[in-house]
Structure 1
Amino acid sequence: MDVTEIDHVNLHVPADGVETAVEFYRDRLGLAIENEEKYASGDKPFVSVRLAPGAVMHVQPDEDFEAPDDATFDHVALRVDADIESLKAELADAGVAVDRELEPLGATGVAPAVYVTDPFGYTLELKAERS
């Protein structure tokens, strides 16, 4: 097997959480939302957040949603095309609180990162360009 990249991630949200997800991921983080019309018409059970040209995150409402905890979920790490100071300033301007800041090891090596939490308890590691 020769995996080339992650295609998508699925995250469940509360049954009434799609609008909140769209507000956070599109309006605060600036990511594109796809399939809103198909979701609204019932043709798709989720909306998609475009993370990169070849990667999306499906956000699917779930009547039995339970917020993630340390035993069930840690974080999704996303590489961001920005330096750490620009990234922190963009998040501050959008009203997104930074939970912590580290320089973790990932697929492309060590680089500065900030961690934020979405409205449903999912942690996102936003890994900036190496300085």
Structure 2
Amino acid sequence: MREGTSLTSSIPFSLVGIDHVVLLVDDMDKALGFYHEVMGCRPGYSYPALGMEQVWCGASLIVLWDVTHHGGQKARPPVAGGRNVDHICIATGPFEHEALRAHLESHGVAIHREAMHGGARGMGHSFYIYDPFGNMLEIKGPAEYPDGRA
């Protein structure tokens, strides 16, 4: 640990692990063939309007986002040969949304957007932020169910 830093209980969430990674592809059939047949991934959630397919990799998801599909245009790298990973989703334990907002603000970290998305643990509230190097991180809370169960 660097001098002057400490792990404190002031962080309003606990890390659980990687929920999903979003990979940019330009041939969905080829990508699904590889991840199913070569890697042994099982089919996951499908978002055809976005040009997005998810495959299970153990308890985590790999999201395949087709940048040639009209729904994947916003993920297309601005420069040919640019980035290939859209974002990494970090799964957390339960947290208070306002506490997380305050925590991020106290560190000068802007929230890019908030959303309710599906992931390896179900539908949960997500906060999208950027690290100091421009990498997008999704901080995703546990699944939330309409009936309030945990």
Report TM bin, short chain. 0.3 to 0.5
TM-score relative to the length of structure 1: 0.45
Structure with more of its chain in strand, by fraction: 2
TM-score relative to the length of structure 2: 0.40
